[in-house]
Chains A and B, each alone.
Chain A
Amino acid sequence: MSIVLYDLVKRYGEQTVVDHVTLEVADGELFVLLGPSGSGKSTILRLIAGLTPVTAGRVFLHGRDVTDLPPQQRGCGFVFQNYALFRHMTVAENIEFGLVVRKVPPPERAKRRDELLELVGLAGLGRRYPGQLSGGQQQRVAVARALAFAPSVLLLDEPFGALDVKIRSQLRQSLKDIQRRLGVTTILVTHDQEEAFELADRIGIIDRGRLLEVGTPDQLYHRPQHEFVATFLGNANLLAGTCEPDRVRLGPLSLPYPGAMSQMDAEGRAEVLFRPEDLVLAPERNGLNGPALGAGVVEQVTFLGPLRHVRVRLDPLPGTWPLPLRYGEEGIPLTVALLSGANGTEEVRVGQTVWVGIRRFHVLPRIALRLLIGTDGSSEAEHALYLAARLGQDTGGSATVLMVGEGRAEEALRSHAGETLKTAVADLHLKARRGELGAEILREVAQGEYDLVILGGQADPRRPWAGSAAAERLIRESPIPVLVAKTPRPAIRRVLLCLAGGEPGKLDVMFTARLARRTGAMVTLLHVHQDGEPADTPEDARPDPWLTRQLERGRLTLLGQGVRAEAKIRLGAVVDEILAEAAEGDYDLIVVGGHIPSHLPAVLERDVAAEVVAQADRPVLVVRGKLP
């Protein structure tokens, strides 16, 4: 193995840029790190080259641990995105630099320089200055300079990013040739998937500092394991369907899939991926040679040269919905690729009804929620562990227990938390910290990737915030939903989703759908119409028709995700009515959205979420939408 990264971590203050990356790159391999900008891929290169110190983890080059060595002693050839050529030196001097500082004798230097100029196709340009070269030529100089001293590995940071499209593909080919000829182990960083497909022996997909998946381009494209990988690489049609023994069901259609049950989540759902070219179109059902997904209307036809992308909105299928979830949308949007010039494709017109058939599909591993449970060993924290165990069982996700405490208490906590959750959650992590619970949870949320924070809360309404200062802080500051576990309920069967204040939030509806889908709960959407101000006309007293419509859209969204839902409107003071409804309906969970329109007068800008959490006697989930 030429390059081995072991559990590499880089943090800048609170922000984790590289998150426990482990990777092996074989001798002579061209490995491409692919990810969106800001995903930390360039930082990984800098960690390998020694330009940035690691926070934790080790870097091995050809079996040698170089983690603590300066860049000079690592022997990595590096090419920056903007090449960083020495502007005051000629091309020849640039290429020879690595040899000059190594005190290689001049004749040898000249020979090596000429070889490299030849190799990158710049023979005869050695006397020019970088400023006199085109962008493509500068890039070649940078590559030649990095290769001159025969580096042990070659690291390229977006080497084609600064070039125009035409030169780009030309240089890609020549880079691949050079890499093959020299057999130098190479890592190339890019955000361009086309580039990755064209160059890579293997690709590593990186998102928010985490290396999600590694594989050949073919594997990652056709058989991805993560939703992110599926949607980041190429066009993806992702549908959530149901599992049966050795079959996957999408609406009325049942597809054979050996081992399907292992891919499903607790509710028997599975994610099914269709690439645009995996789908076929026909004007009639009989025209499809194979299983039909359903009929739909053509919404858009995009010409892409060799291909045509046809956007079809499929009629809703029972028990099936598109991923990622879309708010208030009806039907299932699909992108189908047609070969331009293929028989009959010219007839596809916008507005036409077509049948969509399936040629090939892939089932992604189970969808899961990642829980973070904060505990300080108090009796309230017990509720959190109990509720997490319930949710873990239902959702089949991972759970991390963050213990904030001191010394021996911490150990006891560790064994106890382990016992409570071990049987319920397959993927369990225990972490211990010292400090203040709320602050430590916020730090962990910022660093790790979680979908939901769970922590304990005092159920006594007379002492609303006793022992739960952390909860008070988290529901105000946490970027992800926070579930305050009060008196535990045996199961989550009924959920009260409160669309408090102004516009019903989208995030709260979506997240509730996600949760309810896995727990099989019934959701009641509640809007409380304030009676605070006396109405001038009878019309004012009635709920805004726009609001009623929003409420109905929310309900339809839930129904579309396979969640049973009803809508209710109550009149009165917001918090009181929410609590009254919760008690009357004996709900297992109250969900409060955090949307507070800023144009409201200050008096009305009370934090409904905080008040509900303070006064409720049952678990409350706060889903705060991003403030505008």
Chain B
Amino acid sequence: MVSRLLIGAVLLYIGILIVAPVGAIVHGAFSRGLGAFLAALNQPDVFHAFQLTLILSAAAVTLNTVFGVLIAWMLVRHRFRGRGLVNGLVDLPFVVSPVIAGYAILLLFGRQGWFAPFVQVTGIRVAFALPGMLLATLFISLPFVIREVMPVLESVGTEQEQMAHTLGASGWQTFWRVTLPNIRWGVLYGITLTLARTLGEFGAVLVVSGAVSGLTETATLYIFRAMDERQYLSAYAVSVVLGAISFGILMAMEGVKRRLAEERRLGTDNRRRRMALP
């Protein structure tokens, strides 16, 4: 009896929190049929918004993967002055509100900002333009790859790398042939998390971009404006597409996570086999 009550409570909770909102959005999007749904998507503004979101996500994922692996490698394999500080700073985007991050970028690159001379000399606009939006996106998605790769690097240890050195492999060969294959599932999981985070980012980008329709408006910003302007169908339709992409990423993540766990289990199994003997 009690367990039935509990199961009921859990279902109700999840229903209210997840199923109902999703259902409402899907219902809203298709309330006037598939034709209207497609028509709502087939607008230059919507098209541009998705394009911008994908560009930002792709750029952020690429940069944060390269630098994320590098930072993780530095933090795990090297002991340097200020290592603890860097290690702590990496987590900052987790705790600082994205809006604050957005304002910080405006303070740096705005008309009276520290880097205003740079902006004037080079003519590259940062605030209220793509570079600023990319900076904001990079900031909020920095920790994911680092935090996923670090434990994997640690558990793999240095022995295989040293082995590769004795076998004649250069540092570069060792990285591509030994280190990277060993951490690949960790990297991939970090990438999916980064992607999911960047696709859904709203606050920091809103502050930095100024949300100019057709210019600096991402998918999330579009939804926000559409709602504001009572174009509910467009808002619902874009939400459904964005949600579907996120759901796809979620599924992919589950797959990667399983491989990662398997790898870790194999690793520990092996270690246990080594330890158990006299």
Contacts and interface: CB of A to CB of B under 8 A. Distances in A.
Interface in B163-200: 163-170, 173, 177-178, 181-182, 184
Given A87-B266, A101-B170, A101-B173, A70 B273 contact: no
A84 B274 CA distance: 12
A72 interface: yes
Given A88-B182, A101-B170, A149-B167, A71 B274 contact: no
Contacts of A100: 177
B112 interface: no
A49 B168 contact: no
A163 B163 contact: no
Interface stretch (A74-82, A238-246, A291-299): A74-82
A131 B167 contact: no
A101 B169 contact: yes
B228 interface: no
Given A72-B169, A149-B167, 5 more contacts: A51-B162, A74-B166, A80-B159, A88-B184, A146-B166
A465 interface: no
A86 B277 contact: no
Interface in B222-278: 266-267, 270-271, 273-274, 277-278
A102 B168 CA distance: 7
Interface in A94-147: 97-98, 100-102, 131, 135, 145-146
B270 A76 contact: no
A101 B273 contact: no
Given A84-B160, A88-B181, A131 B165 contact: no
26 contacts: A50-B166, A70-B165, A71-B165, A72-B165, A72-B166, A72-B168, A76-B166, A78-B166, A86-B163, A86-B181, A87-B182, A87-B266, A88-B181, A88-B184, A89-B181, A97-B167, A98-B167, A100-B177, A101-B164, A101-B170, A135-B274, A149-B167, A161-B277, A162-B274, A164-B277, A165-B278
Q: Interface size class for chain A?
A: 20 to 34
A82 B274 contact: yes
Nearest to A70: B165
Chain B contact patch, size range: 20 to 34
Nearest to A98: B167
Contact of A149 (B163, B168, B274): B168
A77 B166 contact: yes
B266 A51 contact: no
A570 B180 CA distance: 75
A97 B208 CA distance: 50
A170 to B, nearest CB: 15
A565 to B, nearest CB: 44
Contacts of A49: 166
Interface string A492-536: 000000000000000000000000000000000000000000000
4 A-B pairs with least C-beta separation: A84-B159, A98-B167, A71-B165, A78-B166
Contacts of A85: 160
B273 A135 contact: yes
B163 A80 contact: yes
Interface of A: 49-51, 70-72, 74-78, 80, 82, 84-89, 97-98, 100-102, 131, 135, 145-146, 149, 161-165
Contacts of B266: 87, 131
Contacts of A76: 166
Greatest chain A CB density within 10 A among B162, B178, B271 is at B162
Nearest to B164: A97
B34 to A, nearest CB: 46
A50 B168 CA distance: 12
A227 B112 CA distance: 80
A84 B163 contact: yes
Contact of B169 (A88, A89, A97, A131): A97
Contacts of A50: 165-166
A86 B164 CA distance: 9
A402 B271 CA distance: 46
Contacts of A88: 181-182, 184
Chain A CB within 10 Å, residue with most, of B160, B163, B177: B163
B168 A101 contact: yes
B182 A84 contact: no
B170 to A, nearest CB: 6
A101 B277 contact: no
Contacts of B184: 88
A79 B166 CA distance: 10
Contacts of B169: 72, 97, 101
A100 B174 CA distance: 12
B168 to A, nearest CB: 5
Nearest to B170: A72
A329 B247 CA distance: 77
A131 B168 contact: no
Contact of B277 (A97, A131, A146, A163): A163
B162 to A, nearest CB: 5
